[in-house]
Amino acid sequence: MNASSAPELWAKLASAGLTVGVMPEAVEAHTPWYVRVMLGIAGWLAAGFLLGFVGVGLAFVMESKTASLAVGFMVIAAAYAVFRMAPRNDFSSMFALAVSFAGQALVLFGVIGFFERHMTGTAPWLIIAAIQAALAVVLPNFIHRVVSAAAAALAFVYACEVSGAHAAAAGLLAASVAFVWLQEARLGRLVALAPPIGYGLTLAMIHVEGMASFRHSMATLVQEKAFLGTSSWIGEALVAIALLASVWVLSRRAGWETGEPRTLVGLAAAALIGAASFKAPGVAGGLMIVLLGFANGNRVLAGLGIASLLVYVSGYYYLLDATLLVKSGVLLATGAVLLGVRWLVLSVVMPKEGSGA
């Protein structure tokens, strides 16, 4: 159909009563996903070759901490310029993404060089977290914001661990995830900023809770340090509080009154799952992600929560110090409880929906 026939067709549809109003403007066609994947791969290859050739001539940069920081920030600025000049070009976006990651590697090398004698302290990791948080806000690219937000959260968690505040890190991360996704619809102008940052924080939370479910911490990735088992229950308690707060906000958003049975049942179920997470770390956090994804109609977020729950439960089952007979009994009891919860939800919490199920 050519451009001249479009208004005529719209006029005929309007005269027939099939449409009303002014004809909408033509929308730019989206590039097929497989074409975007090919362009993205080509962009990464081009960036890799270019950075390799440039790196040979600028090898002296790696020998100086100051030069690494300066060149790294200049490379990131160049990536920002590419993002701004060609925001809808997949090849340019992927090329700028690779260039930015290379610049961040130089910045990281420079920061580590300045604090090479104090890497076990909190200062370098807080600086890295601040830099990544700033990049997550400034650079206008979805993937970049997801990665930068996750990196900032993980650096902050590590800083908390080396300072002895391991429990506070898990609670603050869970509270941040709940806040971003619960307030997503109210952020308005920040609609392009909130989802990628929310995904980044969610991925960082899944990683931290996964480490906890296998009785490890972020500190073991960089240095030999025992898991802070004495304070791990505090972190899970804070995550359980975040789950309770999420259930409360979602129930109020749905119009449920405080004294209604379904509200009390929902809060009681969240409290029980939070208590169970003391023995099976991550369960409360995974369920919170599932609830937030379901409430926002976000299938990706709900899928991440379900996948994380499978990992956490598998970790608990694997590390359970019991015979196979006892483990089988635990699985049987868990299945019975889940079926009971389903019946309770369909009969008490949502009886109308349950009648047609």
Angle separating helix axes 232-253 and 166-182, nearest 10 degrees: 10
Answer yes or no: do 210 and 301 share one domain: yes
Token readout for 61 is: 């940069």
Answer yes or no: do 267 and 349 share one domain: no
Residue 342 lies in domain: 322-357
Answer yes or no: do 257 and 344 share one domain: no
Answer yes or no: do 227 and 310 share one domain: yes
Number of compact structural domains in the chain? 3
Contact 128, 108 (CB under 8 A): yes
pTM: 0.76
Could you tell me how far CA 351 lies from the centroid of its own chain? 33
Q: How far apart are CA 53 and CA 133, in angstroms?
A: 30
pLDDT of the chain, 357 residues: tens digit per residue: 454 567 777 777 777 766 666 666 655 555 665 666 676 677 667 767 766 776 676 666 666 778 878 888 888 898 888 888 877 777 778 888 888 888 888 888 888 877 776 666 678 888 889 999 999 989 888 888 888 999 999 888 888 877 777 777 788 888 889 888 888 767 656 677 888 898 999 999 888 887 766 655 555 555 544 444 445 667 778 888 888 888 888 888 877 777 777 778 778 878 887 787 777 777 888 888 988 988 888 888 888 888 888 887 777 777 767 677 777 777 787 778 778 777 776 776 666 644 444
Q: Which amino acid is at 24?
A: P
Segments in 163-231 forming alpha helices (H) = 166-182, 194-213
- Residue 49 inside a domain? The answer is yes
Answer yes or no: do 337 and 258 share one domain: no
Answer yes or no: do 60 and 99 share one domain: yes
- Residue 66 inside a domain? The answer is yes
User: Nearest Cα to 90, choosing from 27, 29, 31, 28?
Assistant: 31
- Residue 339 inside a domain? The answer is yes
Q: Which helix (H) or strand (E) holds 347?
A: none
